[in-house]
Amino acid sequence: MNGPRSERSADESDGTRGRADSKGDQTAGRGARDGPTSRRRRKSRTVRGSIRRALSADGGIALLARDAVTVVVIVSILGGLLFAVSGIWPPLVAIESPSMEPNANVGDMVFLVDDDRFVGEGAVDDTGVVPADRGAGTDHETFGEPGDVIVFEPNGDASQTPIIHRAHFWVEEGDDWVAMGESAYAPSSATDCERVSSCPAAHDGFITKGDNNNNYDQFSPDGVSDVVKPDWVVGKGAVRIPWLGHVRLAFESALAVSGAAVSLSAITGAAAFASTRRRNV
């Protein structure tokens, strides 16, 4: 009696072990399939899900991040387009002084182009710049008057604020440019070359003047710059945008004020700390 039952129990046990082994094999199979590729797929799905949630968010940090990225992309595209047209960076300058009034006023923004772009008839050699004396004969005007308005580094010094003035005429090394210019744009004390330190011309270049100034830039003792070499020219004025420059000037002023405030706070703090140390000694 006991023998047959014992045999049946053994058979059942074998079957149970078989099923257990089968389940173990299936588990092992899943473990084998759950390798690096599967984990990468799950990670990719998680990243895509996070991106979709961020793009569809209606508020919170995700919305702010999305808006910030959008602004950066738009600004980058606009900056790239401006650079493609201009050829220089930055392509925009703000007028800071009244020296070019009424043709360019304080607070105006001017879009610049490289000197080899949009070259007008009458340009000097390979400079790409048309001075006023030549522009008058070819009807080449910038901001309402003949000739190109150029932005240049005074005396070639990149550390100084660039000047935006009109190129009036071209001179070559050794030229008596005082005699070549208009006497109306010369001070009464500088009627001939001998009285002007920058005459004769030490090198080839442009004689320049602000439209609202009385004298050429090259007259001393308070001359803005020596004869402007082509290498000193940063760009040419192409388009004037009224008032937009006020935004940049206000921003730069705010930065200057905040920087001064931070410096003053740092100095005050350092002085207070030093005073405390002296009292504690």
pLDDT at position 245 is 73
For residue 17, what are its two tokens? Answer: 């072990």
SS (H, E, C) 165-230: EEEEEEECCCCCHHHHCCHHHCCCCCCCHHHCCCCCCCCCEEEEECCCCCCCCCCCCCCCCCCECH
At residue 143, what is the residue type? F
**pTM of the predicted model as reported, rounded to 2 decimal places:** 0.67
pLDDT at 202 over 90: yes
Pairing of β 205-209 and β 109-113:
unpaired
Q: What are 14-25's pLDDT values in tens digits? A: 444 444 444 444
Q: Would you state the pLDDT for residue 183?
A: 92
- 21-48 pLDDT, tens digit per residue, is 444 444 444 444 556 666 666 656 676 6
Q: Domain limits of the chain? A: 87-246
Task: Among 3.30.70.3290, 2.10.109.10, 3.40.50.2300, 3.90.1150.10, name the CATH number for the domain at 87-246.
Answer: 2.10.109.10
Distance, CA of 122 to CA of 142 (rounded, Å): 14
Give the pLDDT band (50/70/90) at residue 189: confident
Weakest mean pLDDT among 22-26, 164-168, 215-219: 22-26
Chain centroid to Cα 185, Å, comes to 36
User: How buried is 170 (Cβ within 10 angstroms: 0-12 exposed, 13-18 middle, 19+ buried)?
Assistant: buried
pLDDT at 61: 76
| Span 60-78, average pLDDT | 79
Average pLDDT over residues 157-177: 97
DSSP type of residue 120: P
